[in-house]
Chain A
C-alpha cells in the first residue's frame, strides 16, 4: 500500500509508452504509404474521401488513447473498470473506425490475391470471426489469465494487439462491403450483432453479482477515487454490459433503418399518381 496517499490528480499524468507509439506511427505511415505512394487503385475508383482519412486517423487516435494515455496506466495499476473501458476502445471503437477509413480498393489490392484470398475468406467469415472474438473475450477474462496478463508486460501487449485483431475481424462484415470477400445482409447483420451483445452481457452479469472480487490483482491494487474492489468490479461489469450494448445497438439500429430504406426503395408498388382508373387488385391478386 505504498500509494495510499494517491489522489485522483497525479494519476492523470501521461507516461511514455514506446510500444504504443510505435504501433500508431507504423499504422499511420503504412496508410500514408499505401495511399500516396503505392496507390494500387484501379483507374475508375474515386480518390480517398476526406471522411475516410478522418475515420482512420480517429481509429489510430483511439488506439493511442487506449494504449498510451492514463487510461492505460490506471487500468494496469488500479481499476478493473478502467480496464474495461480500455477493452471497449480496443475492441468496439477502434476497429470500426479503422475499417471505415480504408477504401474498398485498398482491401481488394491487399486481400484479393493468390495465397491471401483463401485465408482471408476463412478469417473474415462471420462465424469464424464471432467465435474467435468471443473466445478471446472469455479467455482473457478467466481469472488466471487475467492476473498473469497484469504481471507480464509483453504478454499484456500481445493481448492488446490480439484484441484489436479479433476486433477487426468482428467488425468486418458490418463496416465493409468488399466484393469477393464475406459480407452480411442487413437482417443478418442485426442477428450477428445481437448475438455479439449477449456474450459481454453474460460475463458482465456474472461479474456484477459476484459477492467477492474475482481478480486478485485488483483486490490488492491500491484504491483510488473512493472505489473499493467490489464497487470497481461492479462498475466494470456495468461498462461492459451497458456501454458495450449501446455501441452494438447503435449499429443494429443503423442496420435496421438501412434495411428498411433498401426495402422501401426497391419494393414500392405502383405510385398512386401512376395508377389508372382500375388499379391492380393489390390486396387480393392471385398467385398465378
Chain B
C-alpha cells in the first residue's frame, strides 16, 4: 500500500511506460478500461448496476409468472429456488450498492470541491473487482445444463443459512460461486469505503468544513464507515463457509458440535448495517433534491446529519430481529425488539425534516422531485411495516412470510430504488449536458409508482393470510390467488416503466434538451461547473464560505428581507484554462495517469476463485496476477512525469 518514489531511471518504470496511456488518449475504449477518473468510474458503476437491475428484474418477473396462479408449472422448483436466490443477491449486492457507489463516485469530489478521489487507482481497482465478482457470480448459471433448463446458480436464498449451505445439503457449484463472488464483491466495497472516507476527510476544498458539506456527502461518509466495519464480518462468515465447503472444516457442522446459528449471527450482524448501507445513499440523494425543488435549504441540517450517525450506530445493535424465531429466549427477544423499534426515532426525524423542507417552499413538480417525494412516502410505509415486524410476538406470525417480502420491497424498492431513480433524473444533465425528457419522466414515475404499489401492497395481505416466502407453488384453496395475481400484474407494470425509462435515457442522450450548467437552480458546488464537467472538475479549487455555497452566490436578501437574484451571480465560467499547464499558479493541473494495473490486480481474484473450485493449479496464477498488478501499481508513477 505504501507507494514509493522510484528514481526516474528505474528499468521497471521504463518498461511500464510502454503500456501506459497518456491522458491525451481520452476517448478511446482503452481509455475507459484504464481510466482512473472518478466520473468515468462512476458511469461504469452506474451502467453495470443498471444492467444487473434488468437481470434481477427479469428474474423477478419469472418468479411472478410462476406465482401468478396456484400449482403453476411454469418453472420447476429447482429453477425457482435458484432464481429467487439470484434475484435477492443481485438486487442487493449488484444493484443497490454499486448504484450508490456510482453516485458516490460521480458526486463526492464535485460536491467537496476536489479534483478526484484520494486514491484514483484504488477506485478503479474497486470497480473492476466488483465487476469481476458480479460476472463470476452470474457465471454460475452456466455451470448447470442451462439449455435444458437446469440452471447452475446458487439456491440457498440470499442469506444462505447454515447448515443448508453446506455441501452435504446443497451440492453442486452454485453456492461456491455465490460465496466466492460475494467475497470479491466485499473486498471491492471495502476498498471503496476506505477511499471515500479518506477523500471526504482529507480532500475538501478550503473552507469546506464538515458542517458545510452537503448531506449527501455526510451520508456517503456514514455509509462508508458502515461498509468498512460490516464487510469484514460477512467476509469472515464466507471464509468459514469456504473452509467448510471446500476443505471439510466444521464451522457450521452440527454433528461436530458446530452451531448453525453462528452463521445467522454473523450474517445479520453484517446484514442489518447492510440495509442502512443500502438506504442512506438514497437518503442523501433526496436531501439534495428536496431543497432544490422547493427552493429552501434543508430543514434541520444538523438533525438530519446526526440522525444519520445515530442510525448508523444503532444498526449494530438490532440484528437479532432477523432471528426472533430461532429460539434465543425471551430476554434476547425483548431486548432486541426494544432496540429495533427505537431505530424508528432517528429515521422519523429525517422524514419529518424532509416534510418541513417542503413546507413553505415553492415546489416545482419535476421528475426528480416526484421520485424524491415518492421515496419519502413509500419508505415510510416500509418503515412502518418494519416496526410491525419488530413487535416480537406479531413477528412470530410474520417472519418468513410474504409480509417480510412486502416490507423489504417497500424499503428497498420504495426507498432505495425510487431514490436512486430520482438521483438519475436529477444529475443526468450534469454528466451528459442534456435533460431527460420531462413528460416521459412523469409517465415513468406514475407507472412505476402504481405498479410498485400494486405489486407489493398485496403481499402484506398474502403474508398475513399465512403465505410463506420462497415457495414455488401453493394450493389454490389457500385464499392467496387474487393477491398473487395482482402482484404479477403490478410487476409487469414496473417492467413497463423501466422500459419507458430506458427509452427516455437513450433518446435523451442524443436528442435531449441542452441543460446548461445549472438547469434546476440548484444549491451545491457541482452545479457551478460546466455540464458535463471537465476532466479536471474545477479550474480553480473553490473556496467555500457557507453551506449551499452556490446558492449564496446566486441569491441574496434585499432591504425588505425579500430574496432576490444577484444579477451576475452564478455565471459559470466554462472556458478551459488557456494553457492547461498554467492552471494554478504555474503548477499545472496534475491529473492522475490512466493505468491498467488495477484491472490486472482485480483479474487475479476470479482466477483464484475458479482455481479453488475446479483446479488448484490456477490459484498461484491468480496470486501472480494480483502481485504483478500491485507491484506495477506501486512502482508506476501516479501522475505523468513532468
Contact = CB atoms under 8 A, between A and B. Distances in A.
Interface of A: 187, 194, 197, 201, 208-209, 230-231, 234-235, 238, 241-242, 245, 249, 253, 256-257, 259-260, 263-264, 267-270, 272-273, 275, 278-288
Given A231-B330, A238-B335, A284-B553, A253 B306 contact: yes
Interface string B300-335: 001000100110010011000000000011111011
The listed residue with most B CB atoms (<10 A of its CB), out of A235, A263, A281, A284, is A284
A187 B221 CA distance: 15
B566 interface: yes
Interface in B195-221: 206, 209-212
Contacts of B302: 256-257, 260
Interface string B562-590: 00001011000100000000001100000
Nearest to A263: B211
A208 B332 contact: yes
Nearest to B569: A279
B480 interface: no
Q: Tell me what chain A mostly uses at the interface: helix, strand, loop, or mixed.
A: helix
B528 interface: yes
B209 A267 contact: yes
A268 B556 contact: no
B317 A282 contact: no
B56 to A, nearest CB: 34
Contacts of A249: 310, 313
A238 B309 contact: no
Nearest to A231: B331
Contacts of B338: 242
Nearest to A257: B302
A282 B553 contact: yes
A230 B330 CA distance: 11
A269 B552 contact: yes
A181 B528 CA distance: 46
A281 B572 CA distance: 11
Contacts of B541: 287
A231 B212 CA distance: 48
Contacts, number: 100
A282 B544 contact: yes
Contacts of B313: 194, 197, 245, 249
B205 to A, nearest CB: 8
Contacts of A238: 331, 334-335
Interface of B: 206, 209-212, 265, 302, 306, 309-310, 313, 316-317, 328-332, 334-335, 338-339, 525, 528, 540-546, 549-550, 552-553, 556-557, 566, 568-569, 573, 584-585
A278 B568 contact: yes
A201 B542 contact: no
Contact of B556 (A187, A241, A259, A275): A275
Contacts of B310: 249, 253
Given A209-B265, A234-B329, A245-B317, A264 B211 contact: yes
B540 A287 contact: yes
B546 A268 contact: yes
3 closest pairs, A vs B, by CB? A234-B331, A269-B545, A272-B557
30 contacts: A187-B210, A194-B313, A208-B332, A208-B335, A230-B329, A235-B335, A238-B334, A241-B317, A245-B313, A245-B317, A249-B310, A256-B306, A257-B302, A259-B211, A267-B209, A268-B546, A272-B556, A272-B557, A275-B556, A278-B568, A279-B553, A280-B545, A281-B553, A282-B552, A282-B553, A283-B525, A283-B528, A286-B540, A287-B543, A287-B584
Nearest to A264: B211
Given A241-B317, A249-B310, A284-B528, 18 more contacts: A209-B328, A230-B329, A231-B329, A234-B331, A242-B317, A245-B313, A263-B209, A263-B211, A268-B546, A270-B545, A275-B556, A278-B566, A282-B546, A282-B553, A283-B542, A283-B549, A283-B552, A286-B543
A259 B541 CA distance: 26
A246 to B, nearest CB: 9
B532 to A, nearest CB: 18
A279 B552 CA distance: 9
Nearest to A211: B259
Contacts of B552: 269, 272, 279, 282-283
Contacts of A194: 313
B67 to A, nearest CB: 37
Given A282-B549, A283-B549, A288-B585, A235 B544 contact: no
Nearest to A268: B546
Contacts of A242: 317, 335, 338-339
Contacts of A230: 329
Contacts of A273: 557
A194 to B, nearest CB: 8
A286 B543 CA distance: 6
A155 B15 CA distance: 70
Nearest to B211: A263
Contacts of A201: 316-317
A280 B211 CA distance: 21
Contacts of A260: 211, 302
A173 B213 CA distance: 27
A34 B317 CA distance: 44
Contacts of A234: 329, 331-332, 335
Nearest to B552: A282
A63 B313 CA distance: 30
A52 B544 CA distance: 41
A278 to B, nearest CB: 7
Contacts of A209: 265, 328
Given A242-B335, A284-B542, A279 B556 contact: yes
B499 to A, nearest CB: 39
B386 to A, nearest CB: 19
A273 B559 CA distance: 7
Nearest to A198: B316
A205 to B, nearest CB: 9
A234 B331 CA distance: 6
Among A209, A267, A270, A285, find the residue whose CB has the most chain B CB atoms closer than 10 A.
A285
Given A234-B329, A234-B331, A238-B335, A285 B316 contact: no
Nearest to A242: B339
Nearest to A262: B211
Contact of B542 (A187, A231, A245, A285): A285
A253 B309 CA distance: 10
Contact of A279 (B211, B339, B528, B566): B566
B566 A257 contact: no
Contacts of A286: 540, 543
Nearest to B329: A234
Contacts of B568: 278
B408 to A, nearest CB: 25
A235 B335 CA distance: 8
A10 to B, nearest CB: 25
Q: Report which residue of B331, B525, B544, B573 has the largest number of chain A beta carbons within 10 angstroms of its beta carbon.
A: B331
A211 B544 CA distance: 56
A282 B552 CA distance: 7
A281 B331 CA distance: 59
A285 B525 CA distance: 12
A135 B335 CA distance: 26
B208 to A, nearest CB: 11
Nearest to A276: B556
B243 to A, nearest CB: 22
Contact of A257 (B306, B330, B542): B306
B434 to A, nearest CB: 24
A241 B544 CA distance: 41
A173 to B, nearest CB: 20
B232 to A, nearest CB: 14
* Residue with the greatest number of chain A CB neighbours at <10 A, chosen from B209, B334, B545: B545
Contacts of B584: 287
A268 B549 CA distance: 11
